[in-house]
Every structure is written in structure tokens, then in C-alpha cells.
Amino acid sequence: MTATTDGSTGAVPPRAASASGTTGQAGTTESTPAAAGTREAATRALERATDFLLVRQDAQGWWKGDLETNVTMDAEDLLLRQFLGIRDEATTKAAALFVRGEQRDDGTWATFYGGPGELSTTIEAYVALRLAGDSPDDPHMAKAAEWIREQGGIAASRVFTRIWLALFGWWKWDDLPELPPELIYFPKWFPLNIYDFGCWARQTIVPLTIVSAKRPVRPAPFPLDELHSDPRNPSPPRRLAPVASWDGVFERLDKALHAYHKVAPRRLRRAAMNSAARWIIERQENDGCWGGIQPPAVYSLIALHLLGYDLEHPVMRAGLESLDRYAVWRKDGARMIEACQSPVWDTCLATIALADAGLPADHPQLVKAADWMLGEQIVRPGDWSVRRPHLTPGGWAFEFHNDNYPDIDDTAEVVLALRRVKHPDPDRVERAIDRGVHWNLGMQSKNGAWGAFDVDNDSSFPNRLPFCDFGEVIDPPSADVTAHVVEMLAADGKAHHPATRRGIEWLLAEQEANGSWFGRWGVNYVYGTGSVVPALTAAGLPGSHPAIRRAVAWLESVQNDDGGWGEDLRSYRDVAGWSGRGASTASQTAWALLALLAAGEQESKAVERGIAWLAETQGGDGSWDEPYFTGTGFPWDFSINYHLYRQVFPLTALGRYVYGEPSFGKAS
């Protein structure tokens, strides 16, 4: 039974007319009793999953699942509050409860469920628990400290961890890479200007140039000698790379910047810091956040505070208030910090899933979702306009508030979602779609593909900086984003548009030898392949195309014995050992099924087994349990468990199995 907006229930209706007026037909020829049983099970699972999703829509029209990452978010939140002098007992207790609960049996903390212990994460978690009052002699703390020392201690941790420790004198600023605020003056054509960095890195680096110049030290509330492999020599010299190598060049550049720090003209440095501050303040969102993500907010608050902005200043007050909106309070009293929030992404994916599940295109909840998404379209320039100054705005961002950084992926999926809704004001929808499609077309990179936020953001230099030793700092085109744009263009009747054909050519060239595609923003080859195959078929490639047959063969070869699909994050480090390998998950099984169904494999044994796995593992409330992280922030370094993925993607796959592939109705 499905819930309606007035609280009543009714059976899932047959697939209704879409916004284009086309209708789908349930089922294909059922060749065996087993297939018939699978289809019946799929239909029941689809009904339960639809109910589960409908009742979780917000009254304003959006959906949002928790966005779970790792405990560095929680540790750094406490360290920020300690630095600003606003840490309180209740917040500390709640954060510590969450951090303790994430510790592994070996005393470490990982960056994803089931992953190995990670040094920097473990150090930051340890320090957070020290702030909460845990003693170094407590068994769980002693075990963590012993492991940290075995891994090389604080000296072996990443730069960002040592920056946090330097704020309290636990590390020397002289032993950190230098990042001068004069960087703000580099013109956009100059190597290593701020627009050479991906938007997430750019928002973090600009405030950190101020912090690096100021080198503040707050009194440490306790020593951390127990985290050094050798407390007498906590910062042993590091061996420099050969001069002839790029790493060697950048290491020596860093040494030169350290020398410049001592002689930098005061007026120039002060002017650079003030320019950086203006850049930061101009990009603060209406709700006080920066870019809708937590790390830039944290570093921006520290930087502005160092320049004299007191905590009651409107910019600071709004920024601090925004941080509280990243907190998720759990029933046991623990407090988890989200790195980001994903309402636009979750809402467009939920809309597509419900439409695929047979909900009428004019269902009130789909219309309400469309209304909310229409209100989120961004119609003013952001940082992307530095590279595309004459392009008319029209994209969508990922978060509630992020007008400076709309992204190409969200825009593509929102357009696909809006195409599935029969809205009472179709002209308004068409205007929004046209603007979004035009913006995405204008954001195509010169190689024919699309990145997430910027155009041609693929300089090799930023990743080589000693400062940038954690995660991706550039935003080159990826197969998954490009696939979503190609699928959107096909749905908009532009399958034969030159931009679409260039995107298809790029995707075909990027296929791995084994038939899969790399997944930049989801784990990993299963996500990439599950994104690309539906896009290629939507754009007109037949299921018999060699690239699609290779993808089908690869997916069939990595299907688990239980019928599902899974892929561990280790595939980002060890392709041969982990590509397409891992415990079955609902989201990854759905991605594989979406590719197989798009390739015309509705009657295949692989599809039947995958659908059966989804039906069998569904909970009684219509949901799926998925502790594994299947989202990607930075490949391997920063992973995400999107709590709504386990719901929207299985529902989409079940709907397309029962009702067939969606039809958008616009002629190519």
C-alpha cells in the first residue's frame, strides 16, 4: 500500500502517463515459473519501498538522508570550538560518545565501514577524546596511542592533521608546508592560481593561507608526547625527492616559500590577507555556511577570527550557527557531524525512483518535489563563471544553500527528474529545464567530457604541492558525471547534438579493458558502469554495441554468489584485487541492474538473481540495511555513506524491471 499526501493509502497504481504523455507497460514475457516468481517478489518489494520513501518526504517537498563520513568531522568540530573558546560540556560529551562508538577493536579509526585503521583519522579521534576527558591510561586510549606510534606517530600524519595540532602548539608551524596569502593575487592564467584548484579545495585553501601566514598558537590543554614515535625528536627531517623530479621541484619551492615568509613585505602581506578575507566573505551563503560543506566553514571562521572578527560579528555569528545544522543527533545521545548535506541530490533521485516505481506523473508528492527543485535553481553567477564569463546561469547545487557552486551532476539529474513530473505549470518547468540544459552544455570541457563543478579544471600542478597530500584538489572530467549529462541531453531530444556525440566518444574511449568504467563520485567501477551504460543506450547505442556487450560481460563476471553486487573502496588502490569485488549492497546491486536492464538483459539470469537478492534482503518496513560506504568524496581518501542511496537506487531498479525503461517522449 502507498501513502498519499492526505495520509490515506492506496495500492501502487499502474505506471501512469509521464510528463510527455507516454505510458509504460508492466513486465515482459515471463518465460519460466522462476521468472514469474521473481517478478511477483519484485512488485511486492517495489510497493513496500515506495511506501517507505513517500512518508519520508519533508513537508516542503524535499528528501534528505544522513550523509555519513568519518570521525575527523567530529574531532575537528571540537578542536574548532576549543580554539575559539566556545567548547561546552554537552556538545563535547555527545561528540565523544559518537567518536568512541566508531573505534575499532584494534584501537584505530577507519575512514569507511570495514576499512583499515587510518593514521590521521586515529590521531584526530584520539585528541578529541582527550578533550572530552578520556585519560591516556584508559585501555582504549592506550591501544590507540600504541598503534599511532607504530605507524610513525604525528610526524607521519597528513598536513591537515598537523595544522590542527599546530594551532595548539602540538606541532611546529615551521615544519608544515607554506601556503602564502599572496596566492590570491595570481591571475587566472598563472599556474597555481586559486581557480586551478577544485571548488572544494579552493574554499579551504584561501582561508588556510591566512592561517598559514598568522601561525597562531593557543595554549595546549594537555601534552601529546605519547603520540610521537620519539618524543625527543618529534619531527625528524624528511628525505627530499630528486631535484630533477616534479616532487623535488615543488619541495624546493616550499623551502623558498618558507624563506619568503620571514621577509614578506608587511604591507603586501596585510593587503593579501584582507583580499583573501573579502573573497571569503563574498562567498558566505545566506544561511552562514560556505559552499554548503563543513570544512571551508571551519577554516573560514578561524581565518576571519585571526583577522579580528569577534564571535558576535554577523559573519562569524552566522557561520557558527550554520555549523550546528551539520549535526545529526542520534537516539543514544551521540552527535554525528555531516561533512555536507544532500537535499537536492536526494530529492531528484527520489523523484526519479518514484516515477520509475509507477507513481502517476501528476502525483501531489512528485509535484511538490518538482516545485521545491524549481525553487532551488541558481540564476546568478558563481566561481564557475571565471572560466565561462558569458554563460547564462541555470544550474542546481547539491545542498540547501550553495549558490556559488552549482554542479553539473545535480543539474543533469534534476532535469531528468523534472522530465518525469507532470506539473500544473509546464511552461515554468520547460523554462527551468532549458536554462539548466544550456548551462550544462556550456560547462563541457575541451575534451568533450564534463567535470563536477568547473570547466577544464585539470592542471597537474595543484596535486603536486606538499600542502596537498590528502584527497583530490582538482576536478577533471569523469565518466559518471559525463554519463549523466549525456543521459540528460538524450532525454531533452539532443541525442544527436554535437556536444552529446563528443561526450559519447569520450565515454567510449574511457572504457576499461575489462569492460567497466571508473567511478569518480561513487564506488567504483560498478558505479561508473551503472552510470554509463544507461546513458549510452538512452543516446541511441543499441544493446548489441561492442562496448555495451563488454560492460554486460564484466558485470556478469563480478556478480556475487548471493546474486547481488558489491565493491569495496580498496578498488581505488588495488584495481586488480578489488574491482567489482565486495560484499553485496543494495545500492551497488541496483547500479549493476540499471546497466543490465538498459542493455536489454531483462530476461537474463543475472538480472533475475539480482532482483531476487533485492527482494530477499529488503526489510519489513520497505528499506534496506547498508552499513557499507558506496559514495565517494575523494577516491580512497574520503568516503561517504549516503543513507538514502540504499533506498532510491533499489527502487529505481525494481521499477525499471517491473515497468520497463523510462520514456521521455522528446524526439531526438
Residues catalogued as catalytic:
409
Query: Rounded CA gap, 288 and 269, in Å?
Result: 27
| Kind plus residue range of the DSSP H or E element containing 224 | none
Q: Report the candidate in 164, 143, 285, 347 with the shortest Cα–Cα distance to residue 226.
A: 143
Side-by-side strand order, sheet with 638-642: 67-68, 638-642, 631-634
- Strands 631-634 vs 9-10: parallel, antiparallel or unpaired: unpaired
Query: Rounded CA gap, 514 and 271, in Å?
Result: 54
- Strands 638-642 vs 67-68: parallel, antiparallel or unpaired: antiparallel
Strand partners, 117: 110
Tell which phi-psi region holds residue 349, choosing left (phi > 0), alpha (psi between -120 and 50) or beta. Answer: alpha
Quick check: 323 and 299 in contact, CB under 8 A? no
* Grid cell in block for residue 387: 572560466
Quick check: 74 and 101 in contact, CB under 8 A? no
Query: Rounded CA gap, 497 and 482, in Å?
Result: 14
Quick check: 470 and 159 in contact, CB under 8 A? yes
Quick check: 39 and 77 in contact, CB under 8 A? no
Query: Rounded CA gap, 250 and 184, in Å?
Result: 19
| Interacting residues of 257 by C-beta distance below 8 A, sequence separation 6+ | 178, 179, 180
* Grid cell in block for residue 632: 565517494
Q: Report the candidate in 377, 338, 92, 66 with the shortest Cα–Cα distance to residue 221.
A: 92
Query: Rounded CA gap, 177 and 625, in Å?
Result: 42
- Collapsed DSSP state (helix, strand, coil) of residue 336: strand
**Signed CA dihedral, 273, 174, 240, 575: sign only:** negative
Quick check: 69 and 338 in contact, CB under 8 A? yes
Query: Rounded CA gap, 385 and 479, in Å?
Result: 23
If you compute the radius of gyration of the chain from its CA atoms, what whole number of angstroms results? Answer: 25
Query: Rounded CA gap, 48 and 370, in Å?
Result: 23
Chain centroid offset of residue 165 CA:
27
How many beta carbons lie within 10 A of that of residue 447, not counting itself? 16
Q: Name the DSSP letter for residue 186.
A: S
| Interacting residues of 189 by C-beta distance below 8 A, sequence separation 6+ | none
